[in-house]
């Protein structure tokens, strides 16, 4: 039991998952147009290999990975490439994307493909297969999965930590994946353990998802050391470093990665996708998205072709209610507010939260009163109060010394601030600024 | 902030019960001084945050009942003007504004600030020359006055029964006599996380232990620790003044250090200093150290070494 397993600090927002927690995943009909940004993952954007006017089948590669930390992009529906141009991106910018006019009445069949028998594949072949399928972490950060499968040999991995926390309020993507596809998650664990050469896997699931805990427990393999730990509900437990602390009690050093303490963390939905690659031979072209919030008429868990526009998603859920106010990609704590209904769902979109008037509040920020609540909330033990004051004064060098780069933008400080100071947002802007200054200096 | 104001209402009501209309006049004048200064010199809409209200009320509660209203008004204006606004407004001040105002009044009007009326025959009677004209000092009070429990201890060597201290039937400033009411209101704020419980806890602990040891060694010379806890402004100071968010440390460890420092200074001033009461100066002195305490108690960032190698 994971009763005593947790991390220090953090916050307890209401989880608000009841809107969609019990709704089975359903498939979204193919929209008329699909827009696939070339940058849907951490690392280098993909390079297009199709041209305008080309006809593509569902599952065809449209853009290839550029370098090691990158991922290819595949067609999520059959159709014709109509443009490769700048298009609104969920991160708030305009970014290059491939637009595809989806063929009407198409069976959306894929080209005949050989499904590789994963057990017969070598380590390198497995990793290449995952890379070619464009699999990335589906928990939000969209880190290419094949990179995690191949840690450098000087860092032996002893444990795979499987992330089933889904600590963001509202979202039920991972929850439904665990309840409906526990065997896929288990197969994903099996493949990943083989790749890593790790001995054991621990699945961390927060206790507000008892049906998911049961589903995973009931499908545990006999021949592998896989265990389930039900964790107390606390935000941000799904953050890599916090989860490692909660499950294994290990501290990942500042500025290092989980592999430096012998751990790899992978999200349950990503594991299910890895398994799917070896079950169907299809690349990552669709994902589960929770569409929720009081601002949407019919909340749902949808299986969505990657590249579907937000507009189509909302329409499929009965449209927005009259008092809908804000749309957030991801959860309300770390998600990105959207300004355009044409933004596409990308590989990293975990959910769409349509907030109503009742769920949002205009809060003008007041002066900092140095109450110290943010220090008690910060899971990485920063001093957000001090950092916030430095950010407002543009003192970036001092912010870096005060460990700004350790901030993971979880939003706990903004959440507890009684003066409603947008601390986390300030830090996001400051981190971008520090990186830019570094590039300019180099 | 308005919650804190709300918890001051029962304390004010208790003081009205003991000191009659004078309590309302003095607190009202101090609050008016604070609010008017905030309105005139403060940033726009800053009255709405409630901090000026708290400062005014708290200052009023630390004043003696017989103080002329104009003095209380000046004190309130000084608190906000020189205690807060000159530093840059809410969140920027180093010292607790209410206590700074009180320190100013203590220096400017030492006699009026140390005349302590006791219970009168009629509840309606004013407890001093509250209505003295501005710039005039108070006429000699035609009311009964008496020493505070701490004054009695210091200058007469008498102690007061703990029951009287808890209920507030003693001489003293308006809001500091009823220890039990302050305790309840403060506990409520601590439970709601409006104040850091570590500060009052560490103040009480350090005063209790310090005086307790002295009392055990020299029972005749030093008072009982419980007397020290409930006498004078310690209750009000520990729950409402020391815990001022702006002027207390931001780290929990810092709050312990801060509270222990205040407790030690209170005991030192009360027992060996020239003054009968030392809570105000103890808190102001520790306020000055807060930036250093904050710097020395920064949390260890997750995943960094326990001690830096250098």
A240 and A319 housed in the same domain: yes
Q: What is the mean pLDDT of residues A183-201?
A: 93
Mind giving me the DSSP string for A9-55? Answer: S-B------TTTTTPPEEEPPP-SEEEEES--SSSBPPEE---TT-E
A242 and A347 housed in the same domain: yes
Q: Which residues of B touch chain A, with CB atoms under 8 Å apart?
A: 49, 51, 89-92, 193, 196, 245-246, 248-252, 255, 298-304
Confidence (pLDDT) at B308: 45
Measured between beta carbons, which residues in chain B are less than 8 angstroms from residue A256?
Answer: 303
Residue with tokens 């609050």: B31
A352 and A380 housed in the same domain: no
Among residues A361, A396, A419, which one ends one of the domains?
Answer: A361
Distance from CA of A375 to the nearest CA of B (A): 7
Residue A95 lies in a domain: no
Structure confidence by residue, pLDDT tens digits, A105-156: 888 888 888 777 888 888 888 999 999 999 999 987 889 999 998 889 899 9
Residue A414 lies in a domain: yes
Confidence (pLDDT) at B309: 40
Is the CB of residue A419 less than 8 Å from the CB of residue A392? no
% of residues, chain B, pLDDT over 70: 94
Is the CB of residue A60 less than 8 Å from the CB of residue A111? yes
CATH code assigned at A262: 3.40.50.11540
A175 and A315 housed in the same domain: yes
Smallest Cβ–Cβ distance between A381 and the set B49, B91, B302 belongs to: B302
Among residues A327, A361, A395, which one ends one of the domains?
Answer: A361
Q: Helix B252-272 crosses helix B198-217 at what angle (to 10 degrees)?
A: 40
Total domains present in chain A: 2
A200 and A257 housed in the same domain: yes
Confidence (pLDDT) at A111: 84
Residue A376 contacts B where some CB pair is shorter than 8 Å: yes
**Neighbour-count burial of B111, counting CB atoms closer than 10 A to its CB (0-12 exposed, 13-18 middle, 19+ buried):** exposed
Confidence (pLDDT) at A171: 95
Closest-CA residue of chain A to B196: A371
* Residue A104 confidence class, pLDDT cut points 50, 70, 90: confident
Report the distance separating Cα A187 and Cα A29, nearest Å.
28
Contact call for A383 and B299, based on CB within 8 A:
yes
Contact call for B92 and A382, based on CB within 8 A:
no
A286 and A399 housed in the same domain: no
Residue A233 lies in a domain: yes
A194 and A218 housed in the same domain: yes
Confidence (pLDDT) at A46: 95
In order of A312, A320, B49, B56, B90, the CA distances from B38 in angstroms are 53, 45, 11, 10, 10
Full residue range of the structural domain in which residue A213 is found: 1-29+123-361
Contact call for B251 and A375, based on CB within 8 A:
yes
Structure confidence by residue, pLDDT tens digits, A288-303: 999 999 999 999 999 9
Measured between beta carbons, which residues in chain B are less than 8 angstroms from residue A383?
Answer: 250-251, 298-299
pLDDT above 90: residue A5:
no
A24 and A130 housed in the same domain: yes
Is the CB of residue B282 less than 8 Å from the CB of residue B266? yes
A205 and A294 housed in the same domain: yes
Smallest Cβ–Cβ distance between A382 and the set B193, B246, B301 belongs to: B301
Average pLDDT over chain A reads 92
Two structure tokens written together for A132: 């070619």
Interface mutation target, options A371, A376, A377, chain B, most CBs of B under 10 Å:
A371
Interface of A with B in 214-273 (CB under 8 A): 241, 245, 251-256
Report the distance separating Cα A408 and Cα B93, nearest Å.
31
Contact call for A375 and B299, based on CB within 8 A:
yes
Q: Helix B279-296 crosses helix B252-272 at what angle (to 10 degrees)?
A: 150
Residue A82 lies in a domain: no
Contact call for B250 and A369, based on CB within 8 A:
no
A172 and A310 housed in the same domain: yes
Residues in chain B: 310
Confidence (pLDDT) at A175: 96
pLDDT above 90: residue B306:
no
Structure confidence by residue, pLDDT tens digits, B245-290: 999 999 999 999 999 999 999 999 998 887 878 899 999 999 999 9
Contact call for B245 and A366, based on CB within 8 A:
no
Measured between beta carbons, which residues in chain A are less than 8 angstroms from residue B196?
Answer: 372
Interface mutation target, options B302, B306, B308, chain A, most CBs of A under 10 Å:
B302
A341 and A435 housed in the same domain: no
Among residues A332, A361, A390, which one ends one of the domains?
Answer: A361
Is the CB of residue A73 less than 8 Å from the CB of residue A49? no
First to last CA, chain A: 50
A190 and A330 housed in the same domain: yes
pLDDT above 90: residue A376:
yes
* Residue B140 confidence class, pLDDT cut points 50, 70, 90: low
Residue A59 lies in a domain: no
Structure confidence by residue, pLDDT tens digits, A146-175: 999 888 989 999 999 999 999 999 999 999
* Residue B149 confidence class, pLDDT cut points 50, 70, 90: confident
Distance from CA of A299 to the nearest CA of B (A): 35
Structure confidence by residue, pLDDT tens digits, A72-96: 999 999 999 999 999 999 999 999 9
């Amino acid at each position: 039991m994971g009763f005593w397993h947790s991390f220090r600090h953090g916050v307890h927002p209401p989880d608000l998952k009841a809107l969609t927690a019990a709704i089975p995943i359903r498939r979204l009909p193919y929209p008329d147009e699909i827009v696939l940004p070339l940058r849907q993952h951490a690392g280098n954007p993909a390079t297009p290999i199709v041209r305008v006017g080309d006809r593509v089948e569902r599952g065809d590669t449209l853009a290839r990975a550029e370098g090691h930390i990158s991922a290819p992009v595949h067609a999520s529906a059959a159709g014709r490439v109509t443009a490769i141009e700048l298009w609104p991106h969920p991160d708030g910018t305009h970014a290059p994307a491939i637009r595809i006019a989806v063929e009407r009445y198409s069976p959306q069949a894929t080209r005949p493909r050989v499904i590789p028998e994963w057990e017969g594949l070598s380590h390198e072949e497995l990793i290449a297969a995952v890379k070619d399928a464009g699999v990335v972490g589906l928990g939000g950060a969209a880190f290419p999965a094949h990179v995690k499968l191949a840690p450098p040999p000087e860092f032996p991995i002893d444990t795979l930590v499987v992330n089933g926390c889904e600590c963001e309020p509202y979202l039920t993507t991972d929850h439904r994946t665990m309840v409906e596809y526990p065997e896929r998650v288990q197969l994903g664990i099996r493949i990943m353990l083989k790749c890593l050469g790790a001995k054991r896997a621990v699945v961390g699931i927060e206790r507000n998802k008892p049906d998911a805990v049961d589903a995973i427990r009931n499908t545990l393999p006999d021949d592998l050391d896989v265990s389930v730990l039900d964790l107390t509900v606390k935000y941000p437990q799904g953050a890599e470093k916090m989860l490692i602390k909660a499950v294994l009690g290990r501290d990942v050093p500042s500025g290092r990665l989980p592999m430096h303490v012998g751990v790899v963390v992978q999200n349950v939905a990503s594991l299910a996708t890895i398994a799917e690659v070896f079950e169907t031979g299809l690349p990552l072209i669709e994902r589960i998205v929770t569409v929720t919030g009081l601002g949407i008429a019919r909340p749902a868990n949808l299986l969505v072709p990657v590249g579907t526009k937000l507009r189509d998603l909302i329409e499929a859920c009965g449209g927005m209610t009259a008092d809908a106010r804000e749309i957030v990609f991801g959860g309300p704590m770390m998600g990105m507010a959207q300004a355009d209904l044409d933004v596409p769902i990308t590989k990293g979109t975990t959910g769409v939260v349509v907030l109503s008037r009742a769920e949002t509040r205009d809060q003008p920020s007041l002066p900092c009163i140095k109450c110290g609540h943010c220090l008690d909330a910060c899971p990485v033990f920063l001093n957000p109060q001090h950092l916030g004051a430095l950010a407002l004064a543009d003192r970036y060098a001092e912010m870096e010394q005060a460990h700004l780069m350790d901030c993971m933008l979880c939003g706990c400080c903004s959440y507890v601030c009684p003066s409603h100071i947008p601390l986390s947002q300030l830090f996001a802007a400051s981190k971008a600024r520090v990186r830019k200054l570094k590039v300019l200096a180099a | 902030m308005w919650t804190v104001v709300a918890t001051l209402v029962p304390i004010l009501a208790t003081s009205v019960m003991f000191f009659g209309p004078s309590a309302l006049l003095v607190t009202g004048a101090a609050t008016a001084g604070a609010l008017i200064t905030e309105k005139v010199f403060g940033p726009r809409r800053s009255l709405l945050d409630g901090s000026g209200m708290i400062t005014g009320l708290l200052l009023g509660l630390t004043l003696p009942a017989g103080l002329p209203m104009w003095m209380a008004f000046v004190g309130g204006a000084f608190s906000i003007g020189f205690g807060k606004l000159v530093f840059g407004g809410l969140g920027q001040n180093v010292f607790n504004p209410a206590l700074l105002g009180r320190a100013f009044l203590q220096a400017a009007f030492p006699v009026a600030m140390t005349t302590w009326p006791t219970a009168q025959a009629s509840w309606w009677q004013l407890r001093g020359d509250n209505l003295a004209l501005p710039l005039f000092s108070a006429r000699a009070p035609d009311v009964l006055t008496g020493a505070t429990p701490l004054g009695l201890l210091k200058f007469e060597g008498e102690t007061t029964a703990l029951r009287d201290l808890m209920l507030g039937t003693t001489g003293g400033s308006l809001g500091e006599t009823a220890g039990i009411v302050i305790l309840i209101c403060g506990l409520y704020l601590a439970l709601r996380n409006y104040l850091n419980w570590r500060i009052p806890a560490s103040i009480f602990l350090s005063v209790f232990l310090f005086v307790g040891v002295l009392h055990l060694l020299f029972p005749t010379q030093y008072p009982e620790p419980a007397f020290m806890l409930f006498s004078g402004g310690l209750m009000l100071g520990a729950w409402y003044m020391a815990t001022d968010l702006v002027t207390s440390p931001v780290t929990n460890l810092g709050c312990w250090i801060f509270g222990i420092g205040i407790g030690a200074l209170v005991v030192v001033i009360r027992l060996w200093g020239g003054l009968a009461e030392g809570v105000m100066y103890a808190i102001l002195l520790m306020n000055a150290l807060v930036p250093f305490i904050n710097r020395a108690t920064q949390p260890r960032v997750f995943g960094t070494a326990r001690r830096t190698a250098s």
